[in-house]
Chain A
């Protein structure tokens, strides 16, 4: 294992100071479910591991006055999906958080870590994009906010500067008559990385018959998870039904720019982008009508 030093700063300021001091030689450690493997397999050389799990602000989640949900970047998935209020108001988050790894992994892995690892196939990022989540970023120099859909810049790459830390994810309060859902496709029934995944967040008219807003995101079909504005546009103003769903699925297929590898072929992934878009839309509609 090639990690030369380890630090567990007790406060956010301490963590930011360490990042400012060590820059690119430092690496933030949350659950470690990606980072430790990368280090062990010599895929990453880390000078200082900055463990942020001792920082309270990073390991808590709270509902804000406006109904939005603020999740500390290192909060374990298991704690999030174990919360009944989150389950009721943000079921799509549960869809994602409950299928990343098994229970042991979920007790360590975090949504913030999943985002910062910036895998094109990450299982929480499409959900965060569909929900319009915002990344709260801090460094000693500045504070800033970035929409999750603009966070990843390539496989394993993102907008964070070497001295910056993802502090929290803020998910806006769900609109009335809205619903969201996430699904992935894997060849087995567990223990796989998504061949393709998708999330949808739809708002319906009060009578539940017309789409009034929609955000569709797809993953593992491009260098980063993608927001598909054309899929949303294909729905808004349309009657809820299979014709609109198929139009959105076609938009997802068109937006996909997949590769062929051991996990799936480009054609398969493009096809699945459409299949999964339709499937998550059907669940999101059901949830919107039940809300």
Chain B
């Protein structure tokens, strides 16, 4: 049973006892014990998964880490957040996913226009099952609850991941003033409705709609 724990906030330590975890390719910074690293072509989702990722552009370079001991992962000093899943589905960008337990399945899903507004493409990665996943954010992620009584609106550049039964829609307020060059800078937003959790980072990645 792999045990995920944070070492500080930017290093993930995984204790392994003969089992395997999936991690972002090249994210290992140190290990003790015996480890083997194996690049998994196409995210380790088989031939069909590989094709899907190739076609959707949601490329994910993943390695399988197997062995006995402790393995440390980190990526560009970004903050790492642990997410415990109990059967629900986590939606996260492939580039923000650091490591998953072997009991979790990964896949791709269509996000629609939201992905385009984030500059991340039209598809996103899903993680499903029971276990822990580690996701990365630029600055510690803030977890915001969404329920029927209070929907949440998020800037596409600050969105990292979400779980639960959430409907998302892109809301835009592009009007004639935007075309006149008087944009509000917040023209594109993702509105989440339903029940679930949304992870946002205190930073905005570059988005296509950023200046409008």
A binds B: no
